[in-house]
Amino acid sequence: MRRRAFTMIEMLVAIVLVGVVTTFAVLTFNAVTTAWTSSTEYLDKMQRSDYMLDQVVSGLKSMYYPHTGQQDYTYGFYLTDGGNGDDPRSSDTIEWAKTGSAIVGNQNASADTVHRVQLMVLEEGNRDYKEPIEVTGLYARMCPDPALRPKRDKKVQEIDYTFANSDMYQPVLVADGIVGFNCRVLKDPDQSASDASDAKFEDEWDASNSVPYKVELSFRIADPDGKSYRSNTAPIKRIVRIPVYEQSQDGASLPSEDKKGAGGARRGGMGGPKQ
């Protein structure tokens, strides 16, 4: 009995079909792998940014204001409005006096003393400081309390120990992957509402001899590989109740014990100030 063999045309058709199936399988595998990698990278940035935002919240809760019976610009909260916080160039800058290791770390010698912290998002290539910025992200600067700064010596040229001295305090990267930062303030309890979305948060803070009642923080996360992971990605947000608000109003009132609304997380949708 004669066995029928494959013709050349049948062989070519089979090879083409195998090639098409293989190409489709490879493309599908690559698409799935790329999506998985992008999702993992994005979630990793979300987790690290969320942790850093908790550090900022802790830093704001540990805000320091002296109990001297008078208001003091040295310990007030400063906000420089740079825009809506969608990117580094439209981000805000905030500055306040605090105690504790939040943001600065427990290995920092200033963690056990009063110090001022300045928080901002800086873009790669920024040359406003002594050393150029190498990575876009959230940066912090720290300077000691005025009481701990060297005493003035008339024989020596006076040194500016404020944040205005860009050579004195180099920004330190605290969280990469953050490309935008926006801060809004609730100036007093009268602007509060039962629904946080109806509260009268504002982008400007002029009373730099005191601190606001509440602070709203929003961080924008970088898209993985420069590609949009989601077209409607919204910032991570926190609303922080400042414990020393009452004390900052006259320098004498006791800090509030009201912890309600002190720091709730929700996901939705700096040149320094004068001292």
Q: Confidence class of residue 231 from pLDDT cuts 50, 70 and 90?
A: very low
In a domain, 139, yes or no: yes
In a domain, 5, yes or no: no
Which CA distances in Å does 78 have to 11, 119, 184? 76, 10, 11
Judge whether 272 and 80 are in contact, CB under 8 Å.
yes
In a domain, 203, yes or no: yes
- Give the pLDDT score at 197: 56
Handedness of CA 105, 108, 112, 113 (dihedral sign): negative
Total domain count for the chain? 1
- In the sheet where 263-267 sits, what is the strand order? 178-186, 214-221, 236-241, 263-267
Q: Confidence class of residue 275 from pLDDT cuts 50, 70 and 90?
A: very low
- Give the pLDDT score at 190: 80
Which of 54-63, 124-133, 197-206 is the least confident region?
197-206
Per-residue pLDDT tens digits for 1-53:
555 666 888 788 888 888 888 988 888 888 888 777 777 777 777 777 788 88
Q: Confidence class of residue 227 from pLDDT cuts 50, 70 and 90?
A: low
* Cα three-residue angle 185-122-126, rounded to 5 degrees: 145
pTM as predicted = 0.75
CA 126 to chain centre: 17
Q: Confidence class of residue 236 from pLDDT cuts 50, 70 and 90?
A: confident
Q: Confidence class of residue 225 from pLDDT cuts 50, 70 and 90?
A: low
Average pLDDT estimate for 230-247: 80
pLDDT at 232 exceeding the cut of 70: no
Mean pLDDT taken over the chain: 81
In a domain, 196, yes or no: yes
Element (H, E) at 13: helix 8-61
> How does DSSP classify residue 24?
H
| CB-based burial label for 158 (10 Å; 0-12, 13-18, 19+) | exposed
Provide the domain limits for residue 226.
37-148+159-267
In a domain, 208, yes or no: yes
- Give the pLDDT score at 212: 95
Q: Confidence class of residue 235 from pLDDT cuts 50, 70 and 90?
A: confident
More confident site: 193 or 21 = 21
Per-residue pLDDT tens digits for 92-136:
999 999 999 999 888 887 888 899 999 999 999 999 999 999 999
- Give the pLDDT score at 77: 96
In a domain, 3, yes or no: no
In a domain, 255, yes or no: yes
In a domain, 136, yes or no: yes
